[in-house]
Amino acid sequence: MTDDRTNDGGVPVPVTPAGATSGAPAELPPSSPAGRGMFGMQGTGDVSGYGGLVRQRTPIEEAPRPYGGYFDEVRDALEEAYPQFGDAIEKVVVDRGELTLHVRPERIAEVCQVMRDDLALRFELCSSVSGVDYLGADERRLHVVYQLTSMTYRRRVRLEAAVSAEHPHLPSVTAVYPTADWQEREAYDMFGVIFDGHPNLTRVLMPDDWEGHPQRKDYPLGGVPVEYKGAEIPPPDRRRSYQ
């Protein structure tokens, strides 16, 4: 079943995983290079065929109307209060009882302003701003996610703006939500997203002279091998993994 080919781990690796001819999940390549296992496998590393372990990235799909709950009201109110809605909102996604508005990055501050000020929306509190790196799954891989909370109506909405790593610019929302200050700094620190108009866009958690943006998916976890009871245990990101 195995040939003589070995690699770093010194363990023989099957040429083709079981079920590879039948279109089984194990045959599919991983959708991102972020989760390569210890043996440098291209597939899933799962030869048993038991788990069918492969990352299936479902495309982000526009939700059909009606969304249900307060989501329709929020969308209608935003459409009415913000004439450029069609231009600014790329997609409206409803998943697991949560509403996500995908916003064109250059419009994010405007949309936040309307979301905060319109009487029918009133998202007074910006709960959280954070980044997600969709390396290999999206051309505009760096997503900035804003969780807005309306204290008046007790609602939550998520805004998501995607920028590319080559041009990671989008306007800062600190003028609308002062609380975004440190959180945008964190997103800059960890993902290298540049928030234009931020009063003081410097690193906040990492040291000032740090190079790179640690939570990007192409930034290694780091770590050194550890010897334990005579065996060498590789660092976590180079251990054998099931993705």
Partner 1 sequence: MTTSNYATERETTEGRVFTVTGGDWDQVVSGTDPINDERIVVNMGPQHPSTHGVLRLILELEGETVREARSVVGYLHTGIEKNLEYRNWVQGSTFVTRMDYLAPIFNETAYSLAVEKLLGITDDITERATTIRVLMMELNRISSHLVWLATTGMELGAISIMLYGFREREYILDIFETITGLRMNHAYVRPGGVAQDVPDAAIVKIREFLKMMPKKLKEYEDLLSGQPIWTERTQGVAVLDVTACVALGVTGPVLRSAGLAWDLRKTMPYCGYESYEFDVPTHPDGDVWGRYLVRVAEIRESLKLVEQALDRLKPGPVMVADRKIAWPAQLAIGVDGMGNSLEHVAKIMGQSMESLIHHFKLVTEGFRVPPGQVYVGIESPRGELGVHAVSDGGTRPYRVHYREPSFVNLQALPAMAEGGLIADVIAGGASLDPVMGGCDR
Residue nearer to partner 1 on the CB measure, 96 or 229: 96
Tell me: does residue 119 bind partner 1 (CB under 8 A): no
Q: CA–CA separation, 226 vs 75, rounded Å?
A: 53
DSSP notation for 78-104? HHHH-TTHHHHEEEEEEETTEEEEEE-
Touching partner 1, residues 42-61 (CB under 8 A): 46, 50-51, 53-58
| Nearest to partner 1 of 86, 224 (CB atom) | 224
- Shortest approach of partner 1 to residue 189 CB, angstroms? 9
Burial of 63: CB neighbours in 10 Å, binned 0-12, 13-18, 19+: middle
Radius of gyration from C-alpha coordinates of the chain: 22
Q: What CA–CA distance (Å, rounded) separates 68 from 230?
A: 59
Nearer to partner 1, 97 or 230 (CB): 97
> By CB under 8 A, is residue 96 in contact with partner 1?
yes
Q: Judged by CB under 8 A, does residue 36 bind partner 1? A: no
| Binds partner 1 by CB under 8 A, chosen from 183, 192, 195, 198 | 183
* Structural tokens at position 94: 């409803």
Nearest to 165 by CA among 143, 198, 196: 143
* Residues at the contact surface with partner 1, assessed by CB under 8 A: 31-32, 35, 46, 50-51, 53-58, 95-98, 100, 124-128, 130-133, 137, 145, 147, 149, 151, 154, 156, 158, 177-179, 181-183, 186, 203-207, 214-215, 221, 236-237, 241-243
